[in-house]
């Protein structure tokens, strides 16, 4: 089976996961929406970063090229606390795929956000009306700061291997 890894990453988190997959499947073509070349692939490992609840418009624009292919989805999200959140995101990205794609499986983990976001949350903590929410968001920010890490990469590779057989 010919594999391609197509990923979009704005700040490097999803790129880290894509690199881990590339080490596992070194013969796979590795590309981004700008260099997308998946024509020859039977199966595409499709990586996305979460942009306002779904994948980026840049990635959406190349998804028609995945028609009739097998797809394994992987992604990172700033809010990484629950699998039910992850599966909602996956459902939204699945809905963007051509209807004739066969989704083989998926993996998601948290992905660190930039320092500007932390400052926004800290400001929320200074205002009594937004303090509670700010503290919750700050806790989430700190938890996400440790991801993706080597354990996430290992879990991704295991999940992908099992899905592809
Ligand atoms: C403009 C923007 C929108 C985002 N929207 C969400 C979101 O809706 N849900 C979420 O969990 N994380 C969101 N995030 C966080 C990123 O998805 C997360 O940090 C991701 O790991 C970034 O991956 P990358 O480094 O591969 O770009 C957003 C980040 C940015 C910059």
pLDDT tens string 83-104? 999 999 999 999 999 999 999 9
Place of tokens 């981004």: 32
Dump pLDDT digits (tens) for 58-89: 999 999 999 999 999 999 999 987 899 999 99
Q: Which of 22-26, 36-40, 145-149 has the lowest mean pLDDT?
A: 36-40
pLDDT of residue 55: 98
Place of tokens 């499947």: 25
Best of 20, 111, 137 for a ligand 1 pocket test (most atoms within 8 Å of beta carbon): 111
pLDDT of residue 53: 97
Cα–Cα distance for residue pair 117/140, rounded to 1 Å: 11
Q: Measured from the CB, is residue 113 less than 6 Å from ligand 1?
A: yes
Best of 13, 15, 49 for a ligand 1 pocket test (most atoms within 8 Å of beta carbon): 49
pLDDT of residue 106: 98
Cα–Cα distance for residue pair 75/46, rounded to 1 Å: 8
For residue 127, the tally of other CB atoms under 10 A from its CB is 10
Dump pLDDT digits (tens) for 101-144: 999 999 999 999 999 999 999 999 999 999 999 999 999 999 99
Residues 6+ apart with CB under 8 A from 57: 51
Dump pLDDT digits (tens) for 11-36: 999 999 999 999 999 999 999 999 98
Helix (H) or strand (E) holding 159: helix 150-164
* Å from CA of 98 to ligand 1 middle: 23
Cα–Cα distance for residue pair 106/6, rounded to 1 Å: 14
Q: Measured from the CB, is residue 111 less than 6 Å from ligand 1?
A: yes
pLDDT of residue 151: 98
pLDDT of residue 81: 76
* Å from CA of 139 to ligand 1 middle: 16
For residue 81 the two structure tokens come to 């606390």
Q: Taking residues 34-55, what's their average pLDDT?
A: 96
Nearest CA to ligand 1 atom 14: 78
Helix (H) or strand (E) holding 77: strand 70-77
Atom of ligand 1 nearest to the CA of 114: 19
Do 100 and 66 contact (CB within 8 A), yes or no?
A: no
């Amino acid at each position: 089976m010919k594999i391609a890894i197509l990923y979009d990453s704005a700040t490097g988190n999803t790129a880290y996961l894509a690199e881990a997959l590339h080490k596992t499947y070194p013969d796979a073509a590795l590309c981004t929406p700008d260099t997308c070349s998946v024509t020859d692939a039977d199966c595409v490992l499709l990586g996305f970063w979460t942009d306002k609840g779904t994948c980026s418009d840049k990635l959406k624009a190349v998804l028609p090229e995945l028609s009739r292919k097998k797809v394994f989805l992987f992604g990172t999200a700033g809010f990484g606390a629950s699998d039910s959140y992850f599966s909602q995101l996956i459902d939204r990205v699945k809905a963007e795929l051509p209807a004739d794609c066969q989704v083989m499986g998926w993996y998601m983990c948290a992905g660190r956000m930039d320092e500007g976001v932390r400052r926004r949350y800290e400001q929320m903590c200074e205002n009594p009306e937004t303090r509670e929410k700010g503290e919750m968001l700050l806790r989430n920010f700190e938890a996400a700061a440790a991801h993706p890490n080597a354990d996430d990469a290992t879990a991704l590779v295991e999940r992908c291997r099992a899905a592809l057989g």
